[in-house]
Amino acid sequence: MKGQLLRRSAAWVFAGKTSDQVLSFAFGVALARLLAPADFGMVLTIQIFTGLATFIAGGGMGQALVRAKTVEKADLDIVFTLQLIAGCLIYTVFFLVSPLFARWYDNPVYADLLRVSALIFLLRPMLNLPNNLLVREMRFKEQAIASLSGLIASSCTSIALALRGYGVWSLTLGGLVGAVAQGVALHVQSGWRPGLSRDFRRGRELVRYGFLVSANDVVNYLKMRINLFLLSQSVGPGPLGLYNKGESLARMPHNFVTGSVYTVLLRAIAAEQGNLDRCRYLFARSVGTVAVYATPFYVGLVWLAEPLVRGLYGAKWAEAATPLLILAASWPFWLLGNLSGAVTAALNRLSNELKIQVVTLFVTALAVLGGLRFGIAGVAWAMVGTAAFICVFMLRLAAQALEARWIEFVRALRPALLLNAALALLLALLELALPAVVREHDMLHVAVVGGIGGLFYAACLLFWPIDELKAERTRLRQMLRLDPPARP
């Protein structure tokens, strides 16, 4: 029964992520063609600071609610109260410092942008609580519907405003509209109603655990965004927008697949934390499955980064292909580090993880400072190195929590390595044989190489008798009716 619930939950998380990623990608392409890289760079500069404050506003208490064995209405009320107080305080701070922020970046537009963007902190508590409840109850279908509602509202608003010439404001106002739409949908789906409480004692345990979660999130966010902050200070919004576009595309398959599995794996291991054998199996299976399904996207990027960027976004975004190609090398480190984080969070090893994150933050800052002299390419290589650094430590921490050797989980990558080695060989030969007429048209180039590579990979997955993939291969073949259904 638990296995069925886990598979069903994973399927809905994956379906929700699929819808979000596909629509977000499509709307992003439309906006990139309507706006300049500098518009995205300005919004990103604001988000570096508001994003950091988001973790402080939530205080990690949402994940504490997800992990708690029992939750009562009083717990929800005190968490909502604390998050609302934090949100109001954060908005006040941003409102007051916005003129200084604008002078710091020598652009008066930043003052109004910051004040309007910070309105999200007054809405956040209304989104966080119902979303946490849906995750806790593993109602991922309802969560996906709410997320999709917000994405559609945000993107449609941004495109409409961009068409009318609102520039950078189309992105900012679209985000606020999307947050309101998502909040309404979450309330409808969860049935939660906000309530205030003054029983601050009740929230002590949630705050204690939440503080560790929040501290890890803040340090991890700084580690992820220190490159963007340093770029915003040294090269300006244009190159920053180009780098971020490349990084966003590089992370898309990772967020798409690994992000879907992370939520379910966290909840599943938290529920099974008394059974380490089961936890070890869940972790290894998750690593192996995600590697099989996501790695071919990164193998394809080695050959298709440049035509993909030019074909989708236009010539003005062509330089974004450089960080995209470089950051694709981070994929195995992102995978192992991210899913190791789900293990440490579920088994309450966050205090150890925090030490690793702090060390990595300083390593990342030093690496990025060294890479800045080589522009956005140097920063991208710095991020690959730091991804490898944190992966090693996070995987060791997860292995210790599971009382296993870390090499056992690295071995779970073997099927993906075999499949993708074959795919890489095919693509290399295909590129040599590709006619010039195909190369001259970027999207035709992507379609031909991607289509042939995708069909080849699917055939390998369905027919190559790799022992570790026997169960997955059987499931896929039965789903496609290539094999008769299993007898009861």
Q: What is the pLDDT along the chain (488 residues), one digit of tens a residue?
A: 444 545 555 555 555 556 666 777 788 888 888 888 888 889 988 988 888 888 777 656 766 676 666 777 877 888 888 888 888 999 999 999 999 999 988 889 999 999 999 999 998 888 888 888 887 777 777 888 888 888 899 999 999 999 999 999 999 999 999 999 998 998 888 888 888 877 777 666 666 666 666 777 777 778 778 888 888 878 778 888 899 899 989 998 888 788 778 878 887 888 787 788 888 888 888 899 999 999 999 999 988 999 999 998 888 899 999 999 999 999 999 999 989 888 887 887 766 666 777 888 888 889 999 999 888 999 999 999 999 988 988 888 888 888 888 888 888 899 999 999 999 999 999 988 889 888 889 999 999 999 999 999 999 999 999 888 888 888 888 888 877 665 55
Q: pLDDT at position 448, please?
A: 94
| Maximum Cα interatomic distance, the chain, rounded to a whole number of Å | 71
CA torsion sign for 118, 123, 128, 129 is positive
Alpha-carbon separation of residue 6 from 3, 66, 282 (angstroms): 5, 16, 10
Quickly list DSSP for 280-342: HHHHHHHHHHHHHHHHHHHHHHHHHHHHHHHHHH-GGGGGGHHHHHHHGGGHHHHHHHHHHHH
In three-state secondary structure terms, 5 is helix
130: Cα separation from own chain's centroid: 20
Determine the Cα–Cα distance for residues 333 and 395; give it in Å rounded to an integer.
10
Note whether 283 and 343 are within 8 A (CB): yes
Note whether 52 and 70 are within 8 A (CB): no
Determine the Cα–Cα distance for residues 116 and 172; give it in Å rounded to an integer.
8
Token pair recorded at residue 449: 């190489």
Q: pLDDT at position 2, please?
A: 46
Q: pLDDT at position 181, please?
A: 93
Q: Is 194 exposed, middle or buried (0-12, 13-18, 19+ CB in 10 A)?
A: middle
248: Cα separation from own chain's centroid: 9
